[in-house]
Amino acid sequence: MEKVMQVEKIDNYSEQIVKRKMTPSKFTALVVSIAGIVVLIGLSVYLSGYFNWLVPVALLFLGLGIYFSVILIKNSGIEYEYTCVIGEMRIDKIKGKSKRKRISVFDVKAIDDIGKYIDPKTGNKNIDKSKQDLILTAAEDIDRDDTYYVLIHDKIRQKHALLFFTPNERTLSMIQPYLSIELKKKFLKMKHDDEIAAQTSKSESK
């Protein structure tokens, strides 16, 4: 199933939308919140049967409960939009397909490091998050094997940051030309390793 959507294919410009995967803890919090609202509404309606003055209160809770339930469900869907324009990348966070917030802007040529967050060979993490002062997350799922990390200079906060994201091939192709020689070599090695891993996996599945 395709997890990301590439919407533009123009030289020096690309856009990619990534849907953030809901973690078990966030899903549990959503279910508990909605369940609490339902219980409150049910209790108000039940008590209004014994106390007439509670009828308006029950109706108010019913309306508020429906409203906040819709808001919770709508805001649980979070997407990230990566826009790359001539060596500059902008990353927006979109809630409920309507509320947009820019979370980072950085020059690709100023990237200090880039790599897979999870080493495909060992399963170990390739960078220690605890050593970073600012961490920005714009990945579908940080623990997926296609999640990348980049060390950037964030223009919004004017400080160095560790960014996690899930780029597709188009986004990666927009980044590669602007990397330093050392990072280009690292990038090509990662791509080569991915191709070998894909071929190995294909051979084993036969």
Query: Could you list the mean pLDDT of each consecutive 10-residue stretch along the chain, which spans 206 residues?
Result: 42 87 58 65 66 64 64 71 94 86 95 91 88 92 91 95 95 92 89 73 62
Q: Determine the pLDDT at residue 170.
A: 92
The H or E element spanning position 15 is: strand 13-19
Q: Does 91 share its domain with 181?
A: yes
Q: What is the structure's pLDDT at 117?
A: 94
Cβ contact 143:20 at 8 Å = no
Q: Which of 59, 75, 91 is the last residue in one of the domains?
A: 75
Residues 184 and 118 occupy one common structural domain: yes
Please indicate, yes or no, whether residues 112 and 29 belong to a single structural domain of this protein.
no
Domain match, 84 and 28 both: no
DSSP alpha helix (H) spans, 120-180 = 169-175
Q: How many Cβ atoms sit within 10 Å of the Cβ of residue 39?
A: 11
- What is the model's pLDDT at position 46? 65
pLDDT at residue 103 in the model: 95
Residues 87 and 47 in one domain: no
Nearest CA to 147 out of 164, 134, 133, 161 is that of 164
Query: What pTM was computed for the model?
Result: 0.70
Residues 65, 92, single domain; the answer is no
Name the residue with tokens 């940080």: 142
Task: Give yes or no for a contact between 169 and 138, defined as CB atoms under 8 angstroms apart.
Answer: no
Is the same domain home to 93 and 8?
Answer: yes
- Decide: residue 156, CB within 10 A, 0-12 exposed, 13-18 middle, 19+ buried: middle
How many angstroms separate the CA atoms of 153 and 162, rounded?
9
Same domain as 147, residue 85: yes
Domain total of the chain: 2
29 and 82 co-located in one domain: no
Domain range for 68 is: 24-75
